[in-house]
Structure formats: structure tokens, C-alpha cells
Structure 1
Amino acid sequence: MTWLDPQPFLRGVAWLDQGRPVRADPADLGRLPWHTAVRAELPIGVRLEFATDGARAVEIHYRSSPDAEGSTTRLPDCFALWQRTGPVSETLVDPTEEGIVTLPLPKDLSKGSDRWIVHPPETRSPLVLGVRAIGGSLAPPPEQPRWLVHGDSITEGWWSTRPAHSWPARAGRLLGLDTVNLGYAGSAHGEPAIAEQLSTLSADAVTLAFGTNCWSEVPYSPAQLYETVRTFLAVVRQGHPRTPLLVVSPVLRPAAENARNRLGATFAQLRTALEQAVRDRIDGTSGRAGGDGGAAGPRSLEGLPGAEQGDRHLALLPGREVLGPQQLTDGVHPDDEGHAALASAVADALRSLHPQGIQARDH
């Protein structure tokens, strides 16, 4: 039973830093906010995928950081085995700096399955050192179209009970995409450096879902957020001029909808400004977000490449009506039911944007 190089089996990888998957360009961390760089060290959404011929089980050799988030808890590590249609099993192991976990493959499912998915425990940042089959053989499954998803803690999957339950993971399975999760809790304010990094990554589809943290953590005015979004889109489009691109505006936040931040903006006004910036890019027109969150007169789109012709590969999913208050655990983050609802809405929006399905291109 020879250990196989894990890299051909890894999915959801944006960058590698000395063999470890990371979620920001390791050569460009100096321009990122400190908190974003810290969150980018966690391998959120990174998973192992494999096909097998007759294997009874798969073994994973890994090295982890038991307290990657500074936690003092000693909860078991969970390795979750999935197929695209749903969960198969979970294997719990005691936290360790280096170990081997064995995941049995059910006999009734092992025949004819072309894709098994393993979600490792994310918070301890496990580095997979090798994989091997017990009986039979393993091989990397066919590559899927690559989907970049950028956002905040909701995109990162907060309050989902398992990594596989986050809305990007769910939507990726629904659409048959290789989801690359670039959600950064406490961040995602439309930073230009993040837009530039997104523009350099290969992608067959892109989704942006930020704006929630622009109400309180780093307060924005409607006009400021409008300009931020139009600039962010322009930079992303420099690297992905015709890639299907979906923008999801912030979901319901009951306590903030009509409350004003220190710049006088309500959450609803910020959402309106973000949506207007996207619609203007789609139409090839532009307004200026006023104090009420709406457009305040036309203005040119000089300096935004391609925007003056409109963008038929760009779509908007208004987030306000996607979730109800009963699907929010803390008034901000969705529970598992909310993540499922958001995943379904995003999948439907991407299908509408690209009815024939997202296709992989040569990168």
C-alpha cells in the first residue's frame, strides 16, 4: 500500500504555500488587512476527492495544528465522507499533531462511484501528507469547472454545523463545480488587493457576496460602497472579462435594516447602493449612490474597462428576500437551513446566467 502524493486529489485550492493550501496569495499578504491574512491561513473548503476501484477503505496521513485558532478545546477531529448526493459517514479521531485516519467505504456504494469527497476538520488546518487505498486503488476524479466564491463569514460558512453544509459547498455540489472558498470572516470590504488576487486566479465562474461588514465593522456610506463595488468589479473583470460572474447582495440583517451606522447609512441603503452598482455595470450606465442609497444622476464609466458596453456575463441576486429571520442563528449568520436556502438561490441564479451549465475552459 504505497502512499500517494495528495496534491492531485486536493480540490478547492486557490494557492499553495510550501505545499499547504492557503486562501490568499502568499506573495501578496502585505497589502491585505491583518485579519484577512489570518483567516486565509485556514483551509476553508479544501477537500480530498477521489475515485476508487474496489477499495474497502481509504487512509489519510496528515499533520495538523491542534490550536490553529487559539482554541483550548480538545474536541475530536471530524473527517466527513461524502458523495455528491449526500453524506456517507463521519470518522472522529482524537486531536493529534500527526496521524493516520482510516475511512471505511460502504460496500453498497463503492461500486460505480466516480467521486468520493472527504472534508477534513478545517479549524486545525490539517496538511495532508499522503493518501492510499486499502484493497483496490485510488485515482483523482475528473476535474470540474472551477468556481471562485468571495465573501465574508457567511461565505466562510459560519454557523453551518459541518464544512459540507456551508452554502458554497452545497451550491458547488448542486452544480458540479470545484468550489474555491475565499470567504474571510470579519473582512470582505471590497479591498482592491483582493480583487486583484481574484483576477489572477483561473476560474470558470465567480461569485461575490460581500457588503455585510460594511455597515458596522468598517462603516461605509452608500456612495462609498457604490464606488467600491464598481471598482472591485472592474478589477476582477480585468482577469475574467467574460467569465460568468454573480453578485449576491447582503442577506437579511433584521437589527440593522433600518438602523444607521456612524456615517448615517442603514443596512438597507447599503444593500441598495451595492445592487445599483451591479445593475449599472450590467446596463453599461452609471449613477451615483445618494444618501438614500439610490442613484443620484448619471455619470461616466471612464476608467472601468468594458463597462460602457454593458456586461451580459454579470448577474445580480438580491439577497434581502432569500432568508427569513427564522433561518438566522444570531440575527446575522444562517443556520444549516439558511445555508441550504442560500445555496439553492445561488445555484438557480448561476443556472439562469449560464443555462447550458458552467463549462470548464483551458486555463
Structure 2
Amino acid sequence: MEKKLFIDALKEGQQVDDLFLVKSVRLAETRAGKPYLQLVFADRSGDIGGPAWDNAEALEKICIPGKVVRVSGAVQIYRDKLQLRVDHIEAADQANLKMENYLAASSRNPASMESELDQRLSEIADPFLSKLLHKIFHQTEVGERFQHAPAAKGIHHAYRGGLLEHSLSMARVASLLAGHYQTVEKDLVIAGALLHDIGKTVELQSEVGVIDYTDIGRLKGHVVIGSEFLASVAAEIEDFPKELLVHLQHLVLSHHGRQEFGSPVVPMTAEALLLSFIDDMDAKMSLVDQLSTKLKADGPTWSDYQRSLERYILLKPTLDGSDHAETKAEDDGPGSTRQHTLF
């Protein structure tokens, strides 16, 4: 069976019989004590949740996260969101699947992003920052994983290549804003943009489209992991300035902006303040972009309530559809100041 229907095209009332990746599965009980499965299915275009009310325990053996299954059911609205009411699930032959249909990935070309990263590294004038960045991104396993890692488990840039896309987006904005404020060291804030989430290469693991936390990721978190990693790499560079390392670590440790948001310290330098604002902005605007690309209406439309933003958003369709960001990326080139994902 070939996959023909993608999640971003589903509409209320539509009957579905197609292949989807199992993203998550949870065995639950109704108030009457009857077991059912709460499922989330995914493909390259997005994900959709839904219940399987019958044969829950038998279906649980088929619905393994990371496996593709054949699902039949109906699309319905539940709490202002589309969900798939499952009527039947059966195992699919995993051998002949085109996995690119099921794995979400950055819309940007990987080679284009790698080229832009190298361009950013070449622009760093500080010799120690330059050595550190080149060593991390070209001589470590973490740097290799950075190219393909997701930036989050959900909400923003939660797909293959999302971490690099997010970090490059932040570096672009950092380059623009650093030149506007005289108190900001441009090299330092750009380095912070590229390194602030480096710990996510260890905090998160992505296997067959399923993103989850590692044990060390849950126990330490990416800000601590990233800070420790910077110290270990800097220790391998002769005469690396201790003060510079402390400022870099402060950027990583404080980039969430507030302690209640997961930072052990709040930003206390000009670069750290700016970086935390850019990170927050890029994450939120990426979410708005994702919602906008999924619009089916021709004009402005209100989104569902966005819990992460604590508000509804009035969305406008993107100019050129889902490929708009990548087209601009290719046209502008790595040295351009045009921002791909925010504006």
C-alpha cells in the first residue's frame, strides 16, 4: 500500500484509510473502567491525535512508537482541534516504506544550512571563539549530531535539522541586532546563538521520527549539559581565556531568560539579555510560521488557542506556500541579512 494522504490535508468529516507513523501511544481507561488507547499519529506534514476505543490491549501490541501502521477512521473536531477517531488499525510491512513520507524535517536544504554555518564561523574575528566553534562543529561527535538534531520535543523546530535551522535563524538576528547596540560584543552573541542549545544533542534522542528525552537529558537538562560541554572543549584549547569561557557559559545557562523557565541564572550581561530575547522571539515566530503554512483559507484566520503562547493568533497565509522559507534561503545565500523564518 502506498501512502496517499497527508495529515496537513485532513478535514473534518473525512474518512481515512492510509499509512501513518505511530508517534506515541498511551493505554487509558474510560470512567466506566473500559481500556482504550490514546494515540498520536504522524507523517512528514504534521501529527494528529485520537482515540481507539475498542480492542485497546490487542492494538497496543501493534501500535509501537516509530512503527508505521495502516489506520482507518474518521476525522472529527475535539476541543477545537482535529483528531482521528480510529475504527481499525493493522500492522504494515515496514520493509518497503518510503520513510521520507513519515519523518518531519526542516524545509531548508541541509547543504544550504551547512554552508551558512561555515559562513557564520568564518565571520568570527575573535581567535579563541573561532577555534572553539570550529572545533565543536567540525571535530566533535556533538557537532556532527548538531547538523541533524531536532531543537525540541514539541512546539518549535521539533524535526530533523530543526536545531541547526533554529540556531542559524538566531545567529542571523543576532548579527543584525548586535550592530545596533554599542554595548554588545557581536562575536560573543553570535557564538551564543550557535551554541545556546548545543546540549540538546545529548538531551534529546530522535529515533524513526519519535523524539524523546535521554536519561541524562532528564536528569541534567540541556542548559547544564551545554555549559559542561563548552568547558570540556575549551580545556583542549591552549590558553583559552577563563573569563571568555565564563561569559559563554553564562549565555548558555541564562538563555531561557527566567529561572522559572529553566535557567539556573537570569541574563546578567548585554549579550545574555539580547540572546534570551532572540531565542524567545524565534521560537514563537517559528510556531506562528508553522501555523500559517497549514492555513487552508485564502484570508486571515484565527488559530486554535495556543497554550504555549496563552492566546489565539490571527494568522495570514504565507506568500508562496510551504516552500516559501526554503526558496528565500536559496535566493538570498548564506551571507544575506534577510531572515528566513521570522519575517
Query: What is the TM-score with the length of structure 2 in the denominator?
Result: 0.29
Normalized per residue, the structure richer in strand is 1
| Larger helix percent | 2
TM-score, normalised to structure 1, is 0.27
> Which structure carries more relative contact order (alpha carbon 8 Å, separation 6+)?
1
